[in-house]
Amino acid sequence: MIYESSYDSGRLPYKPDLARGYWSKSSDFIFTGISLAFRLDVFSMAWIVFTYAGCVSVILYIGALFLFVVPLFVMQSFLGQFSSSGFISAFRIAPLFKGIGYISLAVNLGVLTYYSVFAAVPLLYLIHSLRPTLPWSCEGIKHWSYNFTENEVRHLCHILSNDTLPPKKTYFWSVVHQIPSNLFLNSRFNHMKLFEPQSEGFYISWEVLLCTLLTWSLIAAIFYKCNSLEKLSTVLRYSIFTAIILLLIAVIRFALVPQNPWLSLFDFFLPSWDRQLESFASVGIFVISAFGAGWGTIISLASFNKFKTKITQNSWIVCFGQMLVFFCFGYIVYVTDIFYDEIREAYNSKEPDAWVYISKFWVLFLSTGSVMAEMSWSNLWCILYYAMLFLTALITISISLLSTLQSIFDEFEGYRTRKTEVSLIVIGLLGICSLYTCSNKGVFLHVIFSNDTVVTQTALNLLLFFVVLWVYGRVRFQRDLEFMLSQSFSTCKIYVLRFVSPLCLIALLLAAIFISVLYHYLGTTVVQIAALLFIVLPWLYVPGYMTYIMLQTTGTFKTRFKRCCRPMDWYPVELEDRQRYEQTMRNTDMTHQLHELEEETMT
């Protein structure tokens, strides 16, 4: 017997969903993989810990690709493509660790409860960009900033109008100036201390609430109309292509903001030594986001590939495409920082004893608004830019939902006949849970949850290395991979996967834990409870499921443990591939047996 059936362990065998479908085009996996770089919450993870250092070092990023990003991408793609199942059922490769799949399910649902804020906020700004005068321009801010003026809030327009200096004093003084596009979001909540988690009071933005409901309504419409993978993959392909085109337009326009565009590009790709030291943290954040929101998305996306798809080549194409996307967004943030630094330095030079500070946060989503307000045809650029951000958020939510829902359908056979109903119910529940992010307490939720999910993702990736390369075994992994790809896979790469990549992930995990603990000191009680429910408690699934599956197996403890670690129903889904796999593995086993007999005869 080449593989063990679940019948031998007293459980029902896995029944593959032969109607789940494949990508309508082979390039759809590449497009959706590149779109995982649209996980833009990474640009808000570290706005307290450090300031962005422009472009991360290209050498550092490419080094990370070789050491663990591409190897991990290949491993997850192998699990999904070989088994043709999502991130829960793929752990048939070692059933004892199937609880990892349930952890992933909880993490993905937790991420989706807050990620809609990255669509609602750009949608809010997109709608207000249709006004004849931008509300966050110096002319438009006069109509809604009177509450802030009474509280003596200084903003960028005071600097631009030379109204920045208080009465002369005999000692050094400093003034903090806000950015109008940042203040505009505060005004929607009517709350000045929006991004201060310990602020008093509970405020709801009805405009953000409506935008959130509209976002989930669009998501529900997409999954209702595109009830097959072929339709959904076509919509995703054109949406991703449109988002990339809009991103390139935004990069070109922002490149013209500095007084010397060529110098800014040079500094971006070849920063000074101090900025290169700061870029180490940026490298870690960017490479984490290469695997998308939540965990297991790559496994589910690869499960829609044909069995013979060359995942190694595709993984490199996807990772380099993601790198270009990260650089584009990073350059927009870099130019935005330059824009405000030039204004600050110019006005600080007017008064030697004064120091003006411009408060920037959530730069990619908020602070860029005031930069575009100073451009010619500012309304047009705001419409295109916020449409791009809104579209990227819709794509990220849709892909994460596709991964999560397909994993549910693969694992629970009874839901396959009611895919549309189950999908709409899940979307509705996620929409209800996400309404908390429409309050001043919940809008900060994504900052803490993003860091928590980074910790969970890294820990799950470490467990995946252990399960595939140590429990399942490097020999069987290499054998299956070579059979699927019909090409050799060097043992040197296997050793990189077994030793080098886990060491890199351990270092990344320690850094992520440090940042996560730092953020939790800032969180409210509700945020701490939510993090406990979605991040900490799911880890009980691993030992809990181990205990459950071993109790269902007969024999001694050692026998039960070995049987639960062996792959069950682990074979290609398509009948032709399955027959070839059984024949190949049987011949391999026979060769080993003959080799052993020859050795015995010689002795």
| Structural domain spans, the chain | 6-83+115-131+201-292+302-446
What mean pLDDT comes out for the span 304-317? 93
Per-residue pLDDT for 453 more than 60? yes
Q: Which of 251, 229, 382, 204 is nearest to 301 (CA)?
A: 229
Residue 264 contacts residue 254 (beta carbons within 8 Å): no
Largest CA distance in the chain: 101
Mean pLDDT to the nearest integer, 272-293: 69
Instruction: Find the range with the poorest average confidence among 130-144, 197-211, 466-480.
Output: 197-211
pLDDT band at 101 (very low <50, low <70, confident <90, very high): very high
Instruction: Determine the pLDDT at residue 591.
Output: 43
pLDDT at 590 over 70: no
- Determine contact, residues 440/97, Cβ cutoff 8 Å: no
What are the phi and psi torsion angles at 532 (to 5°)? Answer: -65, -40
pLDDT of residue 452: 76
User: Regarding predicted confidence, which is higher, 52 or 517?
Assistant: 517
Mean pLDDT of 515-521: 71
Q: Using the predicted structure, report yes or no on whether residue 588 has a pLDDT greater than 70.
A: no
Check pLDDT > 70 for residue 522.
no
Confidence of residue 173 (pLDDT cuts 50, 70, 90): low
Per-residue confidence (pLDDT) for residue 487, from 0 to 100: 86
> pLDDT band at 272, cuts 50/70/90?
low
pLDDT at 216: 97
Using only C-alpha atoms, the chain has a radius of gyration, in whole angstroms, of 26
Read off φ and ψ for residue 269, nearest 5 degrees. -90, -20
pLDDT of residue 4: 63
* pTM confidence score: 0.90
Instruction: Indicate if the pLDDT at residue 534 is higher than 70.
Output: no
Whole-number Cα distances in Å, 51 to 361, 394, 427, 519: 10, 27, 35, 16
For residue 142, give the amino acid letter.
K
Q: What are phi and psi of 140, to 5 degrees?
A: -80, -25
User: What is the rounded average pLDDT of the residues 346-355?
Assistant: 68
Give the range among 92-106, 285-299, 365-379 with minimum mean pLDDT. 285-299
Cα 49 off chain centre by: 19
Provide the residue count of the chain: 603
**Helices 229-255 and 261-269, packing angle to 10 deg:** 120
Mean pLDDT of the region 378-387: 96
Task: Give residue 556's Cα distance to chain centre.
Answer: 43
Query: The tokens 């509705």 sit on which residue?
Result: 428
**Is position 37 annotated in a ligand binding site?**
yes
- Read off the pLDDT band of 145 (50, 70, 90): low
Q: Is the pLDDT reported for residue 48 higher than 50?
A: no
Mean pLDDT, to the nearest integer, of 348-369?
77
On the question of pLDDT at 1 being above 80, the answer is: no
Q: Which of 63-77, 183-197, 476-490, 535-549 has the lowest mean pLDDT?
A: 183-197
Q: What is the DSSP string of 199-222?
A: -SS--B-HHHHHHHHHHHHHHHHH
Task: List, for residues 407-444, the tens digit of each pLDDT value.
Answer: 999 999 889 999 999 999 999 999 999 998 888 777 76
Is 293 buried (19+), middle (13-18) or exposed (0-12) by CB count in 10 A? buried
Name every residue whose Cβ is closer than 8 Å to that of residue 231 and which is 6 or more positions away in sequence: 225
3-class DSSP state of 4: strand
Query: Which of 10-14, 116-120, 504-508, 512-516 is the least confident region?
Result: 10-14
For the segment 145-155, the average pLDDT, to the nearest whole number, is: 62
Two tokens at 2? 């080449």
Residue 78 banded pLDDT, cuts 50, 70, 90: very high
- Confidence bin at 316 (pLDDT 50/70/90): very high
Question: In the numeric block, which tokens belong to residue 602?
Answer: 């010689």
Share of the chain above pLDDT 90, in %: 38
Q: Which position has the token pair 């933005």? A: 205
Sequential DSSP letters for 374-433: TSTTHHHHHHHHHHHHHHHHHHHHHHHHHHHHHHHHHH-GGGGGGHHHHHHHHHHHHHHH
Res 600: pLDDT: 38
How large is the average pLDDT for residues 130-135? 92
Three-state secondary structure call for residue 441: coil
Predicted confidence (pLDDT) at residue 8 exceeds the cutoff of 70: no
Q: How many CA atoms lie within 13 A of 138 on its CB side?
A: 13
Kind and range of the H or E run holding 89? none
Q: Strands across the sheet with 154-155, in order?
A: 154-155, 173-178, 354-358
In this prediction, residue 402 has a pLDDT band, given cuts at 50, 70 and 90, of: very high
Identify the weakest region by mean pLDDT among 231-235, 510-514, 558-562.
Answer: 510-514
Average pLDDT over the chain, rounded to an integer: 82
